[in-house]
C-alpha cells in the first residue's frame, strides 16, 4: 500500500477495528475526538437507563433539550451542530423541519419506568423540530436517532413488524442488525436468538417476551464502553469511504453519486460538521457540499468538475464577491465566489446604474423606509374617537367584491392617509410581478400595497398588529387577542425577527401587561336594535351586544410607540437588509447547488419557481434583474405587458354586475321555510358570482402573460363555479369572457347595466359580428382576440 492515500488504504480494509487502528496510526482520529467523547457519553447514559432528551411541545413547534450537559459539552454541541456552520460549508440539503423519533434515545429509561407500555410510549414520543434553530435537534437527527434506530431494530421488529413485512424483508433487516452489532463490538448472539425470524417468538407468553427485551437491553448496557461513539462514527465513515471508491471515476466522485441515501447525508452532517467549516481550510467558504473537504481527512482526493462550480476544484467556489478588490479571489484572478464584501450585485441588470443611479433593491428599501416613517407617525397620533387603523396595511393580494368586514374595518385606508407621492411610488415599484409559469413576461400585480406589505414582512405585521390590539382592547368592540396573549399571538413574527438579529425588546410585553391593570373598567358599547314586522300588528325586535370599551388607550399607545421607534432607530436598516438578503440568498444557493449536482444551471422555468419571491418583491417581476444580482446571465429579456385597469376593485364590481350579480339584503327573520331556502340560494349564487368577479383580474393577468385570452384549461378553477352562469361549461366560459370584455369596454365613470349585456351574451354565443370601431386596420382588437375572431 506504499504511495496510497489514507482513503485508498481505508477502502481496502476488511474490518472496523483495522480502520480505527489506521486512524490512530495516521493520527486522523484527532479530528473527531471531541465529538466521539460527546456521543459516547450520551449513548452510555441512555443505555444505562437515563433519560437524555426532553421535548417541550408548543402550538407550532417542538423544542428539544439534551439533558445535563456541562458548559463545555453544550458549547461543543452548539458549535458542531450549528446550522449556520452546516450551511456555511454547503449542507443545503438539510430539511427545514424534521420529525424526530426522540423516544428512541429514551427507550431504556422508558423500559425502567413503564416496561409493559414502553413501545407505545416510545412511538408517541416524537418532536417536529426546525433544524435551523436547534443544534440539539440536528444532533438527534444526524447521529442519535440513526444510532438508536439500528440498535433497537430487533425490538421494533417484534413490536410492529408482524404481518407487515415479508420474510425477505425481515431476513434482510437481520443482516443489517448483525453487521451493526458486530461493528459496535457487542456480543449479543444469545440475547438476539429468540428475536430472530422463525425462532418461536410468537410462542412466548407476554411475560417471557418482556423478559427477553429487558435481557437484551441490560446486556447492551453492560458492554457499553467509552469507545462506542468512536466505533459508530467509524462505521458510518467506512460506509462513506466505500461508496466513494465504488462510484469514483479516475479517482474522483461527485457528491451526488456518493450520497445515495439519507443515512449517508446524515452521517456527512453529523460527523464532518466542524471539519468542513474550519477556519483556514481552503473550503471554508464553499456553498456546495464538496467531498474534497471531507476526504482531505482520507487522502485529499479531489472531486470531479461536476462536484464544483466553474471547474475550480481547489479554491472556494461560491462567493458573492463580484471581483471586489478586497476579496482574495479577485487578487488571484479566479471566479471563486466567497468572502467578498458585497453580497449581491444590487444594480440588477446592466445599465441600471446609468439610468437611475440606484439599484432596484435600494429603491424599494428607500420606499419601505418612507412607508415606515408614515406608518409610525399615523400610529403615534392615533387617539380615541378616531376611526381604527385596521386597513392601513393591505393584507391580501386580491380584491373583494362583497362586504369588506365589520364597521370598524376601513379597507384601503392607506389611500386616505398616506402621502400621494408615497402611494404613487408603491404602485410603481410593486405594481408588476412575474407568474412563475411564464418568467419571460412581466404582468400587473393585483394588489401592489399588499405585495409591499409582504415584502416588508414580519416587522410590519407585528408592530401593526400590536397597535391594533391596544386599540381594540380599549376602544372596542372586540380584539383578536388580549394584552397578556399578545406575545404568544405574534410568536411566529417575533421568532422571525429574532432570526434576523432584530428582536423586539421583551420588556414591551411586561410594560403593556402592567399598564393594562390601570385601564378603566369595561363599559358595554351601545347595542344595535333591529325590528321585523311579521304582520297582523306583530313585530319582533332583537338587541345585539357590541362588545365593550375601556379608557386608557393613550397609555398603551405611548408604550408601544416608544418601543416601536426605538426598534426602528436600532434595527430598521439592518432588518430591511436582512429581508432582501434572505429572499435573494436561498434561490441563489439553490442555483449554485444545482450546478454542483448536475454540472449545468437549472432549467429556466424550474428556477423561476424558486426565484419568483425575490423577483416580485425586489425587482418588479423582472427575473433577469435577479439573475444579474447573483452574477448570472438570463437567457431571455422579460417583456412587460399591461392590460389591467387602474381601478381593480371597480373593474371587479363591473364584472360582477355584468354577470348578473346584485346586492342582497339578508333578512334575519323570514316568514317561511321556502323564503329562507330562496334567500340562501340567492346568497350562494351571489357568493359564486363575487368569486368569479374577483378572479377576473387573474384572467387579465394570464392574458398579459400569454399574449392572448386564456383558455378554460389555462385559467384553472373555473369549473367549480361555472354552473352559476350556465349548465354547459363551455357556454359558461363564453359568458364569463364576454362579461370581462363588457367591463373592459366601459370607461371608469360609466355604471354597468346588465340589460345590454344580455343581448351581448346572446350574440357572443351565436357568433354575431364584433362591435364597430374596436379594431385598428391590420390588427385584431383585444375584444376580437377574446372571442377568438
Q: Check: CB of residue 619 under 8 Å from CB of residue 362.
A: no
Per-chain mean pLDDT for the chain: 78
Q: Cell match 452521517: residue?
A: 267
Give the C-alpha separation, 418 to 374, whole Å: 7
Region 416-439 average pLDDT: 95
Q: What pLDDT is stored for residue 754 in this prediction?
A: 35
pLDDT in tens, 683-735: 888 888 999 999 999 999 999 999 999 999 899 888 888 888 999 999 999 99
Q: Cell 399578545, residue?
A: 486
Exposed (0-12), middle (13-18) or buried (19+): which is 635, by Cβ within 10 Å? exposed
Q: Which of 14-23, 337-346, 348-357, 774-783 has the highest mean pLDDT?
A: 14-23
pLDDT at 136 over 70: yes
The alpha helices in 339-417, defined as continuous H runs, are 352-356, 360-381, 414-417
- CA-nearest of 721, 578, 606, 713 to 661 is 721
529: which strand partners? 543
**% of residues, the chain, pLDDT over 90:** 41
Q: Within a 13 Å sphere around the CA of 499, how many CA atoms are in the beta-carbon half?
A: 19
Task: Report DSSP letters for 643-678, one per residue.
Answer: ---S-HHHHHHHHHHHTT-------SS-SSHHHHHH
In terms of C-beta density within 10 A (0-12 exposed, 13-18 middle, 19 or more buried), how is residue 72 classed?
A: exposed
**329: pLDDT confidence band, cut at 50, 70 and 90?**
very low
Q: What is the mean pLDDT of residues 129-151?
A: 88
Residue 773 has pLDDT above 70, yes or no: no
pLDDT on residue 448: 96
Express each pLDDT in 499-530 by its tens digit: 999 999 999 999 999 999 999 998 887 665 55
Reduced DSSP (H G I as helix, E B as strand, rest coil) percent helix, strand, coil of the chain, to 5: 55, 5, 40
Q: Read off φ and ψ for residue 411, nearest 5 degrees.
A: -60, 140
Task: Give 764's pLDDT tier (boundaries 50, 70, 90).
Answer: very low
552: pLDDT strictly greater than 60? yes
Most confident of 390-399, 559-568, 655-664: 559-568
Please give the radius of gyration of the chain, using alpha carbons only, rounded to the nearest integer: 33
Give ∠ CA 160-162-166 in degrees, rounded to 5: 120
Mean pLDDT value across residues 752-756: 36
* Residue 205 CB neighbours (<10 A): 8
Q: What's the average model confidence in pLDDT over 564-590?
A: 91
At 617-670, the pLDDT tens digits run: 999 999 998 988 887 888 888 999 889 998 998 999 999 999 988 877 777 666
Please give the pLDDT value at position 513.
94
**Half-sphere exposure of residue 370: CA atoms within 13 angstroms, side-chain side:** 16
| Whole-number pLDDT of residue 421 | 95
Q: What pLDDT, on the 0 to 100 scale, is given for residue 92?
A: 44
Cα atoms found within 13 Å of the Cα of residue 164, Cβ hemisphere only: 7
Average pLDDT (570-594) is 88
**pTM of this structure:** 0.58
Using DSSP, state whether 190 is helix, strand or coil.
Answer: helix
Could you tell me the pLDDT band of residue 497, with boundaries at 50, 70 and 90? very high
For residue 277, CA distances in Å to 4, 227, 281, 312 come to 26, 25, 7, 19
pLDDT number for residue 11? 75
On the question of pLDDT at 408 being above 80, the answer is yes
Amino acid at each position: 500500500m506504499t504511495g496510497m492515500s489514507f482513503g485508498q488504504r481505508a477502502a481496502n480494509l476488511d474490518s472496523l477495528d483495522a480502520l480505527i487502528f489506521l486512524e490512530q496510526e495516521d493520527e486522523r482520529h484527532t479530528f473527531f475526538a471531541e465529538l466521539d467523547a460527546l456521543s459516547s457519553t450520551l449513548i452510555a447514559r441512555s443505555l444505562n437507563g437515563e433519560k437524555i432528551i426532553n421535548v417541550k411541545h408548543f402550538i407550532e413547534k417542538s423544542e428539544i433539550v439534551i439533558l445535563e450537559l456541562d458548559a463545555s459539552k453544550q458549547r461543543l454541541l452548539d458549535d458542531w451542530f450549528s446550522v449556520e456552520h452546516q450551511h456555511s460549508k454547503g449542507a443545503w440539503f438539510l430539511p427545514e423541519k424534521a420529525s424526530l423519533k426522540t423516544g428512541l434515545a429514551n427507550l431504556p429509561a422508558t423500559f425502567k419506568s413503564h416496561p409493559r407500555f414502553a413501545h407505545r410510549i416510545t412511538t408517541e414520543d416524537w418532536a417536529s423540530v426546525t433544524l435551523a434553530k436547534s443544534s440539539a435537534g440536528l444532533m438527534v437527527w444526524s447521529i442519535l436517532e440513526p444510532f438508536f434506530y439500528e440498535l433497537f431494530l430487533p425490538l421494533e421488529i417484534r413490536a410492529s413488524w408482524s404481518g407487515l413485512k415479508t420474510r425477505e424483508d425481515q431476513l434482510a433487516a437481520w443482516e443489517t442488525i448483525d453487521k451493526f452489532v458486530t461493528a459496535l463490538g457487542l456480543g449479543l448472539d444469545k440475547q438476539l436468538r429468540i428475536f430472530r425470524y422463525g425462532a418461536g417468538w410468537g410462542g412466548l407468553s407476554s411475560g417471557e417476551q418482556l423478559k427477553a427485551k429487558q435481557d437484551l437491553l441490560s446486556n447492551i448496557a453492560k458492554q457499553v464502553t467509552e469507545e462506542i461513539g468512536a466505533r459508530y462514527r467509524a462505521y458510518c465513515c467506512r460506509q462513506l469511504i466505500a461508496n466513494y471508491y465504488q462510484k469514483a471515476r479516475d479517482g474522483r466522485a461527485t457528491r451526488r453519486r456518493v450520497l445515495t441515501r439519507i443515512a449517508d447525508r446524515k452521517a456527512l452532517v453529523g460527523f464532518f460538521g466542524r471539519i468542513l467549516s474550519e477556519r483556514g481550510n481552503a473550503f471554508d467558504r464553499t456553498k456546495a457540499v464538496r467531498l474534497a473537504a471531507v476526504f482531505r481527512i482520507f487522502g485529499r482526493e479531489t472531486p470531479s468538475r461536476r462536484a464544483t462550480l466553474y471547474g475550480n476544484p481547489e479554491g472556494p467556489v461560491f462567493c458573492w464577491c463580484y471581483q471586489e478588490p478586497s476579496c482574495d479571489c479577485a487578487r488571484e484572478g479566479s471566479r471563486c465566489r466567497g468572502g467578498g464584501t458585497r453580497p449581491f450585485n444590487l444594480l440588477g441588470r446592466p445599465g441600471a446604474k446609468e439610468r437611475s443611479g440606484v439599484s432596484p433593491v435600494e429603491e424599494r428599501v428607500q420606499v419601505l423606509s418612507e412607508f415606515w416613517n408614515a406608518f409610525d407617525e399615523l400610529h403615534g397620533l392615533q387617539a380615541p374617537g378616531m376611526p381604527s387603523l385596521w386597513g392601513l396595511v393591505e393584507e391580501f393580494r386580491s380584491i373583494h367584491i362583497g362586504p369588506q368586514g365589520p364597521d370598524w374595518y376601513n379597507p384601503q385606508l392607506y389611500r386616505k392617509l398616506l402621502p400621494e407621492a408615497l402611494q404613487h411610488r408603491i404602485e410603481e415599484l410593486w405594481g408588476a410581478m412575474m407568474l412563475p409559469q411564464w418568467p419571460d413576461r412581466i404582468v400587473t400585480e393585483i394588489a401592489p400595497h399588499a405585495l409591499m406589505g409582504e415584502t416588508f414582512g414580519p416587522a410590519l405585521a407585528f408592530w401593526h398588529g400590536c397597535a391594533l390590539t391596544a386599540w381594540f382592547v380599549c376602544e372596542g368592540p372586540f380584539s383578536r387577542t388580549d394584552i397578556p396573549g399578545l406575545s404568544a399571538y405574534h410568536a411566529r413574527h417575533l421568532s422571525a425577527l429574532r432570526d434576523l438579529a432584530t428582536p423586539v425588546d421583551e420588556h414591551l410585553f411586561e410594560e403593556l401587561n402592567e399598564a393594562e391593570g390601570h385601564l378603566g373598567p369595561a363599559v358595554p358599547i351601545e347595542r344595535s336594535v333591529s325590528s321585523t314586522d311579521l304582520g297582523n300588528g306583530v313585530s319582533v325586535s332583537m338587541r345585539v351586544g357590541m362588545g365593550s370599551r375601556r379608557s386608557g388607550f393613550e397609555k398603551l399607545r405611548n408604550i408601544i410607540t416608544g418601543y416601536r421607534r426605538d426598534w426602528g432607530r436600532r434595527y430598521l436598516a439592518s432588518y430591511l437588509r436582512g429581508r432582501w438578503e434572505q429572499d435573494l440568498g436561498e434561490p441563489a444557493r439553490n442555483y449554485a447547488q444545482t450546478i454542483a449536482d448536475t454540472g449545468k444551471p437549472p432549467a429556466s422555468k424550474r428556477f423561476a419557481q424558486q426565484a419568483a419571491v425575490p423577483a416580485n418583491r425586489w425587482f418588479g417581476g423582472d427575473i433577469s434583474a435577479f439573475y444579474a444580482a447573483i452574477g448570472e446571465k438570463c437567457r431571455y429579456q422579460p417583456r412587460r405587458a399591461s392590460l389591467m385597469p387602474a381601478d381593480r376593485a371597480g373593474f371587479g364590481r363591473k364584472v360582477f354586475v355584468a354577470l348578473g350579480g346584485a346586492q342582497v339584503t339578508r333578512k334575519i327573520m323570514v316568514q317561511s321555510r321556502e323564503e329562507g331556502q330562496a334567500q340562501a340560494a340567492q346568497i350562494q349564487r351571489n357568493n359564486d358570482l363575487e368569486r368569479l368577479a374577483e378572479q377576473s383580474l387573474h384572467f387579465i393577468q394570464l392574458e398579459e402573460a400569454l399574449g392572448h385570452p386564456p383558455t378554460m384549461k389555462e385559467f384553472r378553477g373555473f369549473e367549480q363555479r361555472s354552473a352559476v352562469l350556465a349548465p354547459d361549461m363551455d357556454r359558461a366560459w363564453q359568458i364569463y369572457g364576454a362579461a370581462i370584455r363588457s367591463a373592459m369596454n366601459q370607461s371608469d365613470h360609466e355604471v354597468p347595466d346588465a340589460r345590454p349585456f344580455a343581448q351581448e351574451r346572446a350574440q357572443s354565443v351565436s357568433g354575431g359580428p364584433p362591435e364597430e370601431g374596436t379594431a385598428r386596420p391590420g390588427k385584431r382588437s383585444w375584444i376580437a382576440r377574446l372571442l377568438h375572431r
